[in-house]
Structures are given as structure tokens and as C-alpha cells.
Chain A
Amino acid sequence: MAGTIRAQYPTSLRTVLVPCTGRVGSDLVMRSFGKGADGVLIVG
């Protein structure tokens, strides 16, 4: 959706494809922070 409407997002954003937002547990979010991510956006 964001792509089809040509929405802009910062180049520093990295995307990870998940089958469902339910798949995203706190461990994956915490790991991202641990590896230096400034924020995690869970988009469904």
C-alpha cells in the first residue's frame, strides 16, 4: 500500500517481511533494539 501510493520513507528504514503481525514477538523487537535500531514499527 505504501509503495503503490508512492509514500516516502527515510532511507535509514529497513523492512522485514512477516506473514502476520502476530508473528512478531517481543524477542524480535528487543533483538532489533539490541542491535542498534532506534525504533521498531510493526505495520499490518
Chain B
Amino acid sequence: MLESERHPNIDILSYSEVIEVEGYIGNFIVKVKRNARFVSEDLCTGCGACTEVCPIYVTNYFDENLSARKCIDIAFAQAVPAISNINREACIECFACVDACETEAIDFSQQDEIVEIEVGTIIVATGWDLYQGDDYGYGKYENVITQIQLERILAPNGPTYGHLKRPSDRKRPKKILFINCVGSRDVNKNPYCSVVCCNLSVKNSKLIKSEYPDSEIMVNYIDMRCAGKAYEEYYRRAREANILFIKGMIGKIEEDPLTKNLIVQFEPVGTDTLVTREFHMVILSSASLPSQGTNEIAQVMNIEKTSDGFLKEFHARLDPISTKVPGIFLAGSCQGQKSIDLAVSQAKGAASTASIPMGKGEYAIELIRAEPSDERCAKCYKCIDACPYKAISVNEMGNIIVDIISCRGCGTCAAICPSKAIDLAYYRDNQFTAYIDELLVIED
């Protein structure tokens, strides 16, 4: 990340939102709203003097709310750019930070700013969010946590500095249960498979077992899906390390109010017996959801979404990088949850696909394009709504204009036009009628 920040050809606009995209491949005009962070990016050196004097503590979102942070703070130690941010909802405006700042970077009068940038191609990489439903007592029982919270607990810079401790009493849990497919592969919640969680359970259970060999770890699953290079071997090594993998659904989880341990009832597949076991901590492999702003970004960019809510590629198998808008590409989990190796492959693919028209400086379009005729047009403007690529607009005379770069030659406008005022080059109406008439001539 630091390398990208230092690169002379890369500008990072953090803490910003894309609010409007106009134009077409080679000539996009993007409006970006730069949210006020109340700290000048030019003046702040990231020294942290403001954080020291701030009297207000808030929950640390980077540590998945397992620790506290100051109201003015840098997002996390390796954040790029390393600039403080003020949480104005929690701020009491004591202005202690303003006095502490030597470079006078803190400016409470800062407003949101809208900047316009011109770009040739766009790569959307908006990532994913975690499903946080109340399944298995999550949110109610302290020791039921998500995989991402466990990741933070196991991280050297996390809330417990990498030592495995459970949230309720900060003691090391010995009996740990992983539950897979929480909120995913369930037609009532999210019908899709979140792809990465099986391997995440294998990785974290192995990690805990190797660090603390006396741990008793059980992984509960519907199907273990460890497909991919070396993942099956990884899964086998976890089983060889005495991690118990049990197939079946969890029936009930209850908390012991005294010890805060969790009493779990489940029926392993094929045994016909209900087993009750006590665990010190339960970890949920929760579903991946499209990230929060996916709807807005799809609307702003005029790209589609699949039924699962993730952004839609041009072709699921043959063109998983491009979108239906030429010049806009997808990378990573915004297109659908995927492992790190696949996300890296797709990102590199998107970067090189985008660099082809950028390097050439030209973009070839097909000649199959919609052709409006002003004389026949009754100005009902049905074609404007019908066009899936938003290529049709109206000029000041009220006439229909087709943007031949955005148009992909599908002909939906030609099919919908009641007065046949719009036709598709090379697939004209009279071609079809002649064709149909000849085909249906009854031969004797």
C-alpha cells in the first residue's frame, strides 16, 4: 500500500465516494465527493500527538469492535495515507487536539468537497462486507464471535496482541467450536456459498492447534469445500493434527450464565443421536455480502448486479473481468466472493485489460449500431428507458441521439419503437421480414 502511495502515477483519494460517472471509454468524467476528515491531508504528518491528548474513547472498528480507540486517530498502524481522522459523532469539541497539533493541520471548519477527475478506464474493486445476523446467539453471547473477529484476536497488532483470549473473561479458551455456513447456503438468507470460509476454518483451527496443542477444536460443516491448488492437502493436514471435523447442523446454542461457556446441541450426520457438548468459544464462518455501497456504485456506473447482489460481469465464464459498460472492469470480491489468489489474478487481469485501450489510445467499436430516423420518430422516448446501456439521449430539438460508443448493438430500441423510427444497422427490420417471409413460403 505504501508503495502505491509513493508512486508518482498513483493518486489515492481515501475517505471519498464516487457520486457521478459520465462519458465513455477513454473519456470518463468522474465526480468524487471527498468527505471532510477535519484534518488537512497536506499538513498532517501522522505523528499521533492529537491521539495522545484526546480524552474520548470509541470502539475500534478496525479491531471489529473488540478494543477501544481515541476519537481522533489513524485508522490502523499501516493505514495509507497515515493521516488522523475525527469521528465527529463522538467528538465533544474540546479542541485539545487543535492545541496539540504542531503543524496546525486540524481544521474543524472543513467541508465536504466535490472534485472532478478525467479518466480513461475504471476498475471497480469495492470488496465485501460480513453478514452479522443473530444466528447462534451472535451479538447476545459474548463468546460467540465471527471469523473476522478471530482474525483480529490472532493478529500481532490486534486487541490481545496475538494471544488467544476470549472476549468475556480474557482467558484462553481450550474448547473451541467453528461453525461453517452461517447465513450462507441458506435459501432464507443468502443462497450462495461464500467460498472462502471452509479454508478459513481450516487455517485458523490449525493455527490455534499448533500454538496451543492442548486445545480441543471441532469444526462443524455442511460440506467441506476446500477446492483449489494445495487446499485439499491443507485440509488433510488439519485432520491429521487431531482437529475434529463433524458433518451436521447445529441445533441449539445456549450460554451458561455463570461461566459464559456455550452449551451446544447437535446431531452428527448418520448417528441419530443428539450430542450435547460444552465449548469455551464459538466461531462463526459468516456469509460474505456485497459491500455496503454496491447498489449506489452499480447505479452510478450503470453496471448490473447478479441475483446475489454482487456486481455482474460481462460473461460469467468467458469474460469475468469486463462489465457491460466498455472501459469499466471488476476486480476482487465486488464481483463475487473469492480467495486471495483468485482476487490477485482478477486484479492483474483487470489492470492489463484496462491498459490495452489506454496504451493503444484507441478503441475499436463494431458497426452494428442503432440508427434513429428523425422523420419517423413520434418522440415517445420509449427507447431511452428500454436501452440497457443508457446510450440514447434527446438533443435540444427533442430528437433522439444514439451515442455510438455506449451502444452495444443489441437492438432492444428497434424492437420496442412503435413507429419503427429506430433501426439496427446490419440487422434491419426489412432484412428480418424478408428472411421470415422467405423461410415460411409453403413448398409444394
Instruction: Report which A residues bind B (CB closer than 8 A).
Output: 14, 16, 18-20, 22-28, 31-32, 35-37
Contact = CB atoms under 8 A, between A and B. Distances in A.
A19 B436 contact: no
Nearest to A36: B440
Interface of B: 368, 388, 409-412, 414-416, 420, 424, 427, 429, 432-433, 435-437, 439-440, 442
Nearest to B432: A28
Contact of A23 (B388, B415, B433, B435): B415
Contacts of A22: 388, 410-412, 415
Given A18-B411, A35-B440, A36-B442, 20 more contacts: A16-B436, A16-B439, A18-B427, A18-B432, A19-B368, A19-B410, A19-B424, A20-B409, A20-B410, A20-B411, A20-B412, A23-B412, A23-B414, A25-B416, A27-B429, A28-B436, A31-B433, A31-B437, A35-B437, A36-B440
Given A23-B415, A24-B415, A32 B440 contact: yes
B284 to A, nearest CB: 40
How would you classify the secondary structure of chain A's contact residues: helix, strand, loop or mixed?
A: loop
Contacts of A20: 409-412
A24 B404 CA distance: 21
Q: Which 9 A-B pairs have the closest CB atoms?
A: A23-B411, A25-B415, A22-B412, A20-B410, A35-B440, A14-B439, A22-B410, A32-B436, A36-B440
Contacts of B412: 20, 22-23
Contacts of B429: 27-28
Contacts of B416: 25
A22 B432 CA distance: 14
A23 B427 contact: yes
Contacts of B411: 18-20, 22-23
A35 B410 CA distance: 25
Nearest to B426: A19
A23 B436 contact: no
A23 B161 CA distance: 61
A25 B436 contact: no
Contacts of A31: 433, 436-437
